[in-house]
Copies of this chain bind each other. A is one copy, B any other.
Amino acid sequence: MTQNGKQKIRLGMVGGGQDAFIGYVHRIAARLDGEYELVAGALSSRSEIAKSSAMELGIVQERAYTDYEEMARVEAKRDDGVEVVAIVTPNHVHFGPVKAFLEAGIHVICDKPLTAQLEEAIALTQIKPKNDAKFLLTHNYTGYPLMRQARDMVKSAKLGKIRIVQVEYPQDWLTEDVQNKQADWRMDPAKSGAGGCIGDIGTHAYNLVRFVTGLQTEAISAELTSFVSGRQLDDNVHIMMRFEGGARGMLWASQVAPGNENGLQLRIYGEKASLSWRQDNPNQMWFCPFGEPQQLLTRGGAGFGGEGVSARIPSGHPEGFLEAFATLYADFAQVIRGESEGALLPSLADGVEGMKFINAAVQSSKDDGKWTKI
């Protein structure tokens, strides 16, 4: 800290130009706790959009790039160059920028899934980041205070040995055949990879199960379906899961389930108790000890707390999606500053796990639901 107080971390962004959704979310998350300042970007590969998007965001023109490789090279040389970059491009344009910036010694925050192809994901694990540059994958649902509390409760054996995991992530926005920027790349195998719904949201569900339960998946049995005529990738995912140690699970993800906006839900049943949480009401979680009345835990309420569990605002003031996102950024800021190991943050290895999961799901489905190892 200088005599004038704490300085913000200099942030760059790749992707996220006008009309982008997730870049916008990342920027809010970066701002929320006052830890970052956006100073450079390759917001689009089209010059016009890159420059006007930068203008709107207060980025000076000379740092409004169209080529992420140039951006990495130039920023790495500046005294006031970006310390970290957020990669918010479609899946098939994750690999290049992640590699370029890590090799330039610049920390990387990358949207999920890690890449479009498993090979690319593995290749990233073999990179030698310059200057020990760090990496963050934004599985944002792990940033919810109650999901961190759930993880802590499982670890401290409040549920007993886990027996059953029921996770689901239904949406409805692809119920009909839609054509728009968001839908197009998600349903294009060249841009998304082999998974549609499974890669877009199934990975979130899976990552969340892993984050909260710590269970290793032994094998899965999957049935991926594409209900809308002409659609190349799956829009509905049914999976049964076997975990090491004997637990069993089900995963349902869908983008054709009318009435579900973003219905991520996780339920975990152990020998002694269960937990249940829905993302669309993220400030509440049910804890049901067998043989006792059910308890409704709240973010910040009685019984709240645990490893890495905190809340910005008092209970009853609902904290939302953006704040959870910002928690990842804030934790990662601590990592960059060398104040924390970031033990709760999704890592490169987590990204690889996600890709393996997608592949196994696709494979099992092709094999008529055969139990497939991960």
Which one, B61, B280, B323, B369, contacts A283 given CB within 8 A? Answer: B280
A274:B257 contact, CB within 8 angstroms? yes
Q: Which residues of B contact A21 (CB under 8 A)?
A: 314
Q: Which residues of B contact A312 (CB under 8 A)?
A: 24, 28, 322
Q: How far is the CA of A271 from the CA of B228 in the complex (A)?
A: 9
- Closest B residue to A298 using CB positions: B261
Q: Which residues of B contact A96 (CB under 8 A)?
A: none
- Closest B residue to A300 using CB positions: B261
B318:A318 contact, CB within 8 angstroms? yes
Q: Which residues of B contact A8 (CB under 8 A)?
A: 58
Which one, B5, B175, B300, contacts A55 given CB within 8 A? Answer: B5
A34:B27 contact, CB within 8 angstroms? yes
Give this chain's copy count.
Answer: 4
Q: Which residues of B contact A317 (CB under 8 A)?
A: 262, 320-321
- Closest B residue to A55 using CB positions: B5
Chain A 274-307 residues near chain B, CB threshold 8 A: 274, 276, 279-283, 286-298, 300-303
Q: How far is the CA of A176 from the CA of B6 in the complex (A)?
A: 39
B259:A288 contact, CB within 8 angstroms? yes
- Closest B residue to A364 using CB positions: B369
> Interface residues, chain A, CB within 8 Å of chain B?
1, 3-8, 21, 24-25, 27-28, 31-34, 38, 54-61, 163-164, 166, 168, 171-172, 175-176, 221, 223, 225, 227, 236, 238, 240, 242, 246, 248-250, 252, 254, 256-263, 269-274, 276, 279-283, 286-298, 300-303, 312-323, 368-371
3 closest residue pairs by CB, A with B: A259-B288, A261-B316, A262-B316
A261:B314 contact, CB within 8 angstroms? yes
Which one, B5, B272, B371, contacts A258 given CB within 8 A? Answer: B272
Q: How far is the CA of A252 from the CA of B265 in the complex (A)?
A: 15
Which one, B58, B240, B271, B318, contacts A5 given CB within 8 A? Answer: B58
A257:B269 contact, CB within 8 angstroms? yes
Q: How far is the CB of A237 from chain B (nearest CB, A)?
A: 10
Which one, B249, B254, B276, contacts A164 given CB within 8 A? Answer: B254
B221:A369 contact, CB within 8 angstroms? yes
Q: How far is the CA of A347 from the CA of B316 in the complex (A)?
A: 26
A259:B281 contact, CB within 8 angstroms? no
Which one, B24, B249, B293, B320, contacts A296 given CB within 8 A? Answer: B293
Q: Which residues of B contact A57 (CB under 8 A)?
A: 5-6, 34
